[in-house]
Structure 1
């Protein structure tokens, strides 16, 4: 009888300790569920770049769910013969469930600097101003002709 009681006690103790990882996993899943429920529905890409008269034109695609507008922030960094050239712009874009194309022509942020043909780094970020968790970003090196 004593043997049976000891065996049961060990079994109960083992069962309690084996439930701890399962309980911890359930707690983590519950804590992460708002983040998973708010997963971003936004998508953005950058896939074209060209240079003309010192300006750089970049383009790509974006997709965002819902109605209204989101903000597309684009930063382009290139190099000319003397130093690094940078340009940035933020524009409002309309959202719908389908994929849209975007295209922006940018001047250098600094006066008297121009983009030249060569590699440019394009950073494009799509942000929902009503929900900062709903965003997408891409960064690509493209060859601007």
Structure 2
């Protein structure tokens, strides 16, 4: 990993952890992914951008397997997703063979632009929702 890539990762994650995520997850209509902390066992909520398609919810992680929520999914794929203020349970699947750039074209534009601009290792994630 280049020094510039590492600097982008550290700057973006520090801002998200301390400023962006605490504010966004309080917004009632913000989409939130809830995972179980792989060490703590506590619920961890991360604001995400994505889209529900049928019984699945699709999103793209900007830092791939370096993202804490992706590491939590690898340890326990059972998740919840808050979509339009309503919680849904599901099972998350990492999709390394999916084209994340193409996937971003079908997801909400503002979030997709930010993911493309900041992301260093894009990874598609599909959550199979259970009603």
Do they fold alike, i.e. is TM over 0.5? no
More helix per residue: 2
Q: Which structure shows the bigger proportion of residues in strand conformation?
A: 1
Task: Tell me the TM-score normalised to structure 1 length.
Answer: 0.26
Considering only CA atoms, is the larger Rg found in Structure 1 or Structure 2? 1
TM-score (norm 2): 0.28
